[in-house]
Each structure stands twice: as C-alpha cells, then as structure tokens.
Amino acid sequence: MKIGVLGLQGAVREHVRSLSRLGVDTLIVKRVEQLDEVSALILPGGESTAISLIGGETFLKRLRELAKGGFPFFGTCAGMILLASEIEGRAEPYVGAIDITVARNASGRQVHSFETTLKVEGVGDDVPAVFIRAPYITRLGDGVDALAEYQGHVVMARERNVLVSSFHPELTDDLRIHEYFLNIVEKRNQEDLK
C-alpha cells in the first residue's frame, strides 16, 4: 500500500511525516500520472483555489474519474473543499467526491485559528484538532456519516471511501485519524483482491 499526498500546496510534509511514523510508504504527487502509483490520496490543507489552479483541469478531471471508481480520498481543510460536491458561493465543485455542502472560512480568519479536542466517531473522545480558517459542512447527503462536530457544526464526515475534516490532524502528534483512513484504504484494497 502506497499513499499519495497531493504535493501542489499546503501541509504536505506534515501528512507525509504522520504516515511515515505509521510505517506507510508515501509518494508526494505532483504530476497526474503519479496517481497510478498510489492506493489512495490525501488532499492537504492550503488554499483550495490555488491548489486547483496549480493542478489544472487535467488533474481535476483525473481526480473526478478516480472518485467515480471509489478511490479512497482524505481531504483536510482546503482538501475537504476540493472533494465536496457543493461549495457555498461557487457554481461548480472541483472534484465532487463526497455529497456535502461546505462553507469556506466558516470558522473565521487566520487570527481566529484555534485548537480543541473533539469526539470523533470510531476514533476516540479526545482527538486533538487544529482549526485554521476552517470550512464547515453545512449539508450532508443521504449516504454521508457525520463523524465529529464542533459547536453544532459538522467538522468531519465520511461517505464510503472518502473521508474529510475541517481541521488539520497532521499538525498534531496524534495519529489515530490517519490510522482510521488507512483502515478505509486497506478494506478497499482487500475488496479489490476478491
């Protein structure tokens, strides 16, 4: 199993470091053909518009194709915006891999960044979470499970093989959310072998 981390912008090294601590083979994905070398892809935080512009339409088109085939994705912060099927104030989604609506920068400006502890379904009651200009989920599709909330806002969700969070688990030393995603990828790989 090799996990890709989209290396166009954002907290790339931090995700790679978390995966390395778990003994996972990783690849920083900067070219569309590298997507064929990985079992899953993490889309890190950063600036969603910038990431989409740097990657270009060819990259987004390939990500959409992968999403339709059930490819595992994990999007944090801006990565969640890229994966959402609907973004408030934007006519079209980027990838549309998970049936949610998101509000960008819903937690406030950079100066309003904060850390807290969350109860995350299937992970634990004491998961550290770093919020930086975080988007919030404002709508969940029928097949989407809310995994964590903060002050009444959904901040983590899952639909089949797609996991998203408003916050940055890679900016903490807690590896449980990355482990949760790896379990999703492992189950998908086992299904592919059947």
Q: Report the relative pairing of strands 145-150 and 153-159 from DSSP bridges.
A: antiparallel
Neighbours of 162 (CB within 10 A): 25
From the list 14, 15, 159, 170, the catalytic residue is: 170
Q: Up-side HSE of residue 20: CA atoms within 13 Å toward CB?
A: 9
Helix (H, G, I), strand (E, B) or coil at 146: strand
Helices marked H in the chain: 12-21, 48-68, 78-83, 176-193
CA atoms of 104 and 82, how far apart (whole Å) = 11
CA atoms of 8 and 27, how far apart (whole Å) = 12
From the list 14, 77, 159, 178, the catalytic residue is: 77
CB 99, CB 83: distance < 8 Å: no
From the list 14, 15, 159, 168, the catalytic residue is: 168
CA atoms of 133 and 114, how far apart (whole Å) = 9
Active site annotation includes 77: yes
Active site annotation includes 65: no
**What does the angle CA 63 – CA 81 – CA 139 come to, to the nearest 5 degrees?**
115
Residues involved in catalysis: 77, 168, 170
